[in-house]
Structure 1
Amino acid sequence: MRLTVLGGGGAYPTPERGCSGYLIEHAGFRLLLDPGYATLPALLEHVGAAAVDAVFVSHAHGDHCAGLNPLLRILHLDPDHLSPLPVFALPGAVDPVLALDADMKLDDQADVHEFDAGAELTVGPFTLHTASLSHFVDNVGLRIETGGVSLAYSGDGGADPALRSLAAQATVLLTEATFVEDVPPNSRGSLSSAALAAEYANLADVGRLVLTHLWPGTDPDDASRTARRGYAGPIDVATPGLIVDVR
């Protein structure tokens, strides 16, 4: 399984990186995970829009799903694209995105599969285990398994202790680390830090830690150094173009 980072920023895009966005590939199948603001151009550097086989959205915030709109626009305007794109999301999570450009009927390009947190899904060669993880809105983390390896992902629920169970002995943990060390009071329990991500990675005994969803302006080296204090395994920061072979 291969993870390619398309964004990795939280809240809003910056000149350095778009928001959350990840391409997961295995056996020729391409799963687009959380296409947030400004991630479509990065996706198109790797594959064409029609090469995406399915999309998974963890929650309704635009920095995790707004990129679905331009992706569907491309498919709508492509006369050779005939099949709707499977989109997996919590009930109602992608409705606002699909409502954009209503005159173009972009929702016809999406085959939405709604599920409840805790569901197990089969998407192409992947088995997806989902779990509710706390955030300001309903959010799911997931564990993607295929070929004997696993990738755990928090969505924006990296502060939830349930992430430890979801990520137990995962090959790679890709987790939200919005802040470096101290989480502001109004975000505690809903957003995480590099320090807490490292603690959970250590407790879950994961093979590799990838920090993502950094607050705009955060120095990735600061996040990595802070995580190093709590986790001894390999650490990456999700920056556009980062490729992690999950094996």
Structure 2
Amino acid sequence: MAAVGAAVPFFERQPALPAGGRRGAPSRHHRFLRWRRRGRPSDIRAHHRDDRAGADAGTPARSPSPAPASLLDVGGGPGVHARWLTDSGYRVLVVDPVEKHVRQARDHGLAAAVGDARDLDHVDGSFDAVLMLGPLYHLPDGSERARAWREAHRVVKPGGLVAAAALNRYAKLLDLDSPGALDIAATGLRTRRDGPTTYYHDLAGLGAEARQAGLRDLAVYGLHGPAYEALRAEERRTGRKDLGEQALETALAAARFTDGHPDLAVSSLHLLIVARRPHSAV
């Protein structure tokens, strides 16, 4: 069983999406993560101990190799994550299937190339860490997600880290303003008439996909806590993006409370799974 816990350190330290990013302004998701960082001790690695109950044998993977390690940002878009990683001293290559995103990443001075998570154009063991912070929920077909996981396992070095973001199907049940919540919880699919189908994982299925690709030392983290969906619903109801300090602090307090209660990861809309490629074949 994978360890389950709070937001993983290196992800939680990212800044908000700057102007010129995917939408030119921070998304609600990025704003919340920025707010969540407030009040954290400066030494986050010391604050989050590797003592999660139920972890796979060995210590759960928690952060990539120190800079200047090489990172492959699969589905990295215009470089939202790659920018702060590059600024932190990492050597990052962005791969994205959308040519516009690749051009935007290059405009920010990043190394970027057109590519597909399911068929990466890199030799085995090329990178110290691989990020997939978007592809999984854009691949509703399980066989295609399996291909993406296998490719991430293939191109990361033995002992290297793979971190992937996923959407949690059950968190939508906490959103009273989401008419499709029951369907999403039951099927894991959100189908739009005018857009792509989005896939939502459950925690067990997310861990199973990583293991089937050969990854080990899994840990799953909830990023938002149980109040995020209520915050979103209230924003939509009132038409306001700023609900005031009290509402924000209540949501943040709930998110931080989950740090010591791993079972509450299931209440977070966004999940992060972190794992390692074994040094030897499994």
TM exceeding 0.5: no
Larger fraction in helix: 2
* TM-score category (smaller protein): 0.3 to 0.5
Higher relative contact order (CA 8 A, sep 6+): 2
- Larger Rg, first or second structure (1 or 2): 2
